Amino acid sequence: MSDSNLTDSLQTAMNDLFRRIAPAADELGKLFAERGHRLALVGGSVRDVFLGRIGNDLDLTTDARPERVLEIVRDWADSIWTIGIDFGTVGVRKGNWLLEITTYRSESYDPKSRKPEVVYGDTLEGDLERRDYAVNAMAVTLPEHEFVDPYGGLTDLAAKVLRTPGPPERSFDDDPLRMLRAARFASQLGFTVDAPVVEAMTAMADRIEIVSAERIRDELDKLICGAHPREGLALLVGTGLAAHVLPELPKLRLEIDEHHRHKDVYEHTLIVLEQAIDLEENGCDRVLRWAALLHDVGKPKTRRHEPGGRVSFHHHEVVGAQMAKKRLSELRFPKDVVADVARLVELHLRFHGYGTGEWTDSAVRRYVRDAGHLLDRLHKLTRADCTTRNKRKAQVLSRIYDQLEERIARLAEEEELAKLRPELDGNEIQEILGIPPGPAVGRAYKFLYDMRLDKGLIGKEAAAQALREWAAAREG
């Protein structure tokens, strides 16, 4: 992009920005100026202006210390929160705007500590220099609206490249998490990473060990929910960072697919992830994406060489579910996310037992029961897991799964499959068998539940008769 085009783009974006954020931002800028302080819109908020992604969350930076910021905004803001004040950040809501105001700062890690040490700075230029990438080191002063770009961030933005304001080694030594941010931005923005940055990431990959699991989780989760996760994941694997934060992924490069359909299971995994994304309906489904990424992680541990040159991975779905649960738990994901992803990994091969439709209605019911609330995601993961280059085979598999979904829909309509339960409840069991509440009722209920799965709806009278026969057989 030429300098004149950049200038035109800058002016258009700035005009659009200030049409939207005034008067809130300008009012705040004047408040700070009247009290002898500087204020500027900064970082991702400025970057996103040029990407056409202006939101209601704005990042600002100031020379005022946090306690002074609180004094200035106290009577102006609709609400204030101080959860990040130890790191120099005060949160403010004004109307529909959410503003985070952070004191000029630099932060670095002690080699033996997981927590960054925050040191306040005195100049806007110094604050911009300590930021992760040049595209995030642009600012607009308030209320003057002066554009500040000492490190060529606008040029990098036009070229779609990630470059650090200073030497990448210094940047990553200050905050190793910035290496993961490079991969996250590659995923979210589709940017390439400058060669010196990649070299520094490769050389310093082990520095990521000092960062807390929660911060690593947040970056990986944003990466997986980006528009281009393949690019971010490939960067993690290529630089060796994945070996420290998601070691199951690079290990897949060593395993050749049992049908020789792909160069390796790693490539197959990335294709499955992309195909799962194509099946999403309402934005990022992180449970589906993580399940797609981890669905084959059990293959390295279960790899066996068979006669005739074949390779098998028996029970890799069971082993993979355990590995997925362990990895996501160590990354401090919420328990429900861990459980759902692990369950999808465990079930992702179940469909292949369906063959060409040999399952009984009972087997279909059990498939639905085992999937539970994950049934729709299991449909998508199973379809995404078909990556054969043989178009005819892919079409056959797709048709067979269409038939399974049709059977599930038919059974659901006929039997309210989503509300699967015995036809007799606990009170009716007690009345029919003449027994009090207790374990015997639970055993009878399980018998009726299993019968419901096997035979479908048979009516209350038939269910009661079957219950009596079951009880009599146990007594005999």
DSSP codes, 46-89: HHHHHTT---SEEEEEESS-HHHHHHHHTTT-SEEE-TTGGGTE
Q: Are residues 432 and 333 in the same domain?
A: no
Q: Under the phi-then-psi rule, with left for phi > 0, alpha for psi from -120 to 50, and beta for the rest, what region is 117?
A: beta
The answer to whether residue 354 sits within a structural domain is yes
Q: What mean pLDDT is predicted for residues 369-394?
A: 87
Query: Does residue 215 lie within any of the structural domains?
Result: no
Tokens of 216: 């690593």
C-alpha angle with apex 251: 248 to 254, nearest 5 degrees? 155
CATH number at residue 410: 1.10.3210
User: Residue 418 pLDDT > 70, yes or no?
Assistant: no
For residues 268 and 258, what is the distance between their CA atoms, to the nearest angstrom?
11
Residues 56 and 281: their CA atoms lie apart, in Å, by 24
339, 459: one domain: no
pTM: predicted TM-score of the whole model, two decimal places: 0.79
The verdict on 349 and 447 lying in the same domain is no
- 91 lies in the same domain as 59: yes
Helix (H) or strand (E) holding 193: strand 192-193
Contact of 295 with 385, CB cutoff 8 Å? yes
Q: Is the pLDDT at 217 greater than 80, yes or no?
A: yes
Classify residue 425 by its DSSP letter: -
pLDDT band for 113, please (50, 70, 90 cuts). Answer: low
Cα angle 333, 335, 338; round to 5? 65
**In this structure, is residue 271 part of a structural domain?**
yes
Q: How far apart are CA 237 and CA 234, in angstroms?
A: 5
147 and 46 co-located in one domain = yes
| Non-local CB neighbours of 391 within 8 Å, separated by 6+ positions | none
What is the number of domains present in the chain?
Answer: 3
Is residue 456 domain-shared with residue 363, that is, in the same domain? no
* pLDDT single digits (tens) 47-103: 888 887 777 888 999 999 999 999 999 999 999 999 888 889 999 999 888 999 999
Q: What is the CA radius of gyration of the chain?
A: 29
- In this structure, the answer to whether residues 77 and 22 fall within a common structural domain is yes
Tell me the sheet residues that pair with 162. 193
pLDDT number for residue 262: 41
Per-residue pLDDT tens over the stretch 304-333: 877 877 777 888 999 999 999 999 999 999
- Residue 222 belongs to a domain: no
Q: Which domain holds residue 254?
A: 247-417
Distance CA 440, CA 434 (A): 11
Same domain for 397 and 430? no
How would you class 282 by CB atoms within 10 Å of its CB: exposed for 0-12, middle for 13-18, buried for 19 or more?
exposed
The span from the first CA to the last CA of the chain, in angstroms, equals 88
